[in-house]
Structure 1
Amino acid sequence: METRHITAKDGTSIPIYWSPAQTPRATLLLQPALGIQAKLYRPLAAGLSTRGCSTAIMEQRGHGLSKLQPGYNSHYSFTETLEQDIPAVMQWLQEQVENKPRLIGGHSLGGHLSTLYTGQHPGEIHGVVHLACAFPFIGDYSGKQKRMLQLLCRLIPLFAVFPGYYPGHLIGFGEKESIAMMMQWRQWAISGEFDFDSHKGLTDALVDYAGPVISLSFEKDQFSTAAAVERALSPFCNASIERTHLGEQQQGEFLGHSGWAKQPDGAVEAIDTWLNHTL
């Protein structure tokens, strides 16, 4: 597994983990979930590369190998991810592996950002991978999950006053995050729509995307409901969507919202099977 640093147009260094296949049939840009370091997905990338899918895991700003830190002077958000980071890494991938299908995907938040990028570049993407990807709209949850989302939406604006970042490590949801990003996430939770700030109609162009999508869900995922998974897929109105639910038979004890990534044998097998009949 190699570590590389890609420079975005704004000068930011974007760390990635790179697992190239010996004989690549496709490339995949994989994005982490909220608050999770890219290194968690190294087993997934390694497994996919042995199946011919060269995989890059992009570090989020403010996490893992990134030199940025959330705080009063940090304003990075979904905007930078979509307009700076992903384009830079996608261009780098194209240079590394030419003339092969380009896939994009991610875990939870990373899946949503992959959806938005595909909407902005429908002709560039040949496949989308969702992993434990459920939209955080309050209305798609009930009970304890719903109360947690409601509480987070009340608290996030207060953290802009103090401590200047979102302290997810103290709350049990995410890690230290940029307030600007979490305010955008809050809009998703309240509206149930992918738009945020002045960015409107973000998924409209997905009507032009008719490629394949795979959505992998996992047993014991406490941050997911069937309705939330479907909302995450809802922009893909003309795509060919494959839904696969993985349990103990495929994943053994490695289940849940993030536990699957520690030993993702079932996920690797499911994605490989999907690639075999879609590419």
Structure 2
Amino acid sequence: MEARELPLRSSDGHVSGLLAVVPASPTASLLWLPAMGVAARHYLPFADALAARGIAVFVHEWRGNGSSSLRAGRHGDWNYHPLLTIDLPCSEAAVAATLPDVPRILGGHSLGGQLACCRLGLEPDSASALWLVASGSPYWRAFPAPMRYWLPMAYRFLPWLADRHGALPGKRIGFAGQEARGVIHDWSRSAISGRYATTGLGIDLDRALARAAPPVRAVSFDDDWLAPPGSLDFLLSKLSDAERRLFHLDSGALGVRADHFAWMKQPAAVVDALID
């Protein structure tokens, strides 16, 4: 199946492309939210594998990445607020217009999984199920020792660095991409406090998350220090008591190193777990 890009224009003028891989007779659609700093095109192997199993996949593009018309910098900044309330509804509308009569799944990788949870907290009817891969809360207490002891220092340093440079120079430091200051501040806030919040929303995100009760399928990996099982457990603890199926894969099951990113190039075992 050939991928195509659906042109999107958000209500504030942001332009991006929604990557779509749609089989002939899909049984469901998945709106997939990438990890921080990862462009949509990197999920094509995952989308192709799911489409071969009858799932239509639409890969969202975060503003600032890939096909997005915006780039983070001193004159380009945003936080979780427009991501959750402007850009995601735009992608959701495009999915609904393309496939109006199939069940909708929302899912994501890493930060994408966190924001998928937040979106379902804000709009519980936006999807009927939640899929997470290598995702979890960055809350420092949810990580194993000794890692948890130095994380608060890192979580305070990264917003300072983003402020100093106008955006987080992620590629230079080996973490994420060129990320907006507001996104890094919101991410760091949740990492230090354990609570989700963003300026301008006017809604208690943690309280909204507690109302979300989608059936969840989540995959974690043996060598993933960025999203260990404890961080996934903490993230899921914010959701209502819904049906959960959790899968923990090692390198033997994956056929590649079981870390935060390697599965993207060889996603067969992840697809098997999610579809089961």
Kept after mapping to 1: 8 A contact 2:223/2:258: yes
Correspondence 1:231 to 2:234: yes
Aligned residue in 1 for 2:222: 219
Q: In 2, are the aligned partners of 1:32 and 1:58 still within 8 Å (CA)?
A: yes
Aligned to 2:85: 83
Equivalent residue number for residue 261 of structure 2? 258
Q: Secondary structure at the match of 1:123?
A: helix
Identity over the aligned pairs, expressed in percent? 29
Aligned residue type for 2:15: S
Q: CA RMSD in A?
A: 1.8
Secondary structure of 1:3's partner? strand
Equivalent of 1:168 in 167, 170, 178:
170
Which residue does the alignment assign to 2:58? 56
1:247 equivalent in structure 2: 250
Q: How far apart are the structure 2 equivalents of 1:90 and 1:132?
A: 23
Shift of 1:118: 0.5
- Return the match for 2:31 from 29, 34, 45: 29
Runs of 4 or more, structure 1, over 6 Å off, are none
**Offset at residue 239 of structure 1 (A):** 1.4
Q: Which consecutive residues of structure 1, in runs of 5 or more, have no partner in the other structure?
A: 274-279
Query: In 2, Cα distance between the equivalents of 1:125 and 1:191?
Result: 28
- 1:24-55, Cα deviation, whole Å (9 max, x unpaired): 11111101111111112111111111111100
Q: Distance in 2 between matches of 1:21 and 1:148?
A: 46
1:276 maps to none
Deviation of residue 144 (structure 1)?
6.0
Q: Name the SS for the 2:84 alignment partner.
A: helix
CA–CA separation in structure 1 for the residues paired with 2:46 and 2:162? 35
- State which of 258, 265, 271 in structure 2 corresponds to 1:268: 271
> Which sits farther off after the overlay, 93-102 or 218-227?
218-227
Q: Which consecutive residues of structure 2, in runs of 5 or more, have no partner in the other structure?
A: none
Distance 1:42 1:123, change over 3 A: same
CA shift for structure 1 position 87: 0.3
| Superimposed CA distance per residue, residues 130-177 of structure 1 (whole angstroms, 9 cap, x where no aligned partner) | 110121111222456435532332323433543211112122221110
The 5 Å alignment of 1:96-135 reads: 96-135=98-137
Q: When the two structures are superposed, what TM-score results if normalisation uses the length of structure 2? A: 0.92
* Secondary structure of the structure 2 residue equivalent to 1:270: helix
Q: Deviations over 1:194-223 (max 9, x none)?
A: 223354421434454443111100121121
- Whole-Å Cα distance in 2 between the matches of residues 64 and 246 of structure 1? 29
Say whether the 8 Å CA contact 1:34–1:109 is kept in structure 2. yes
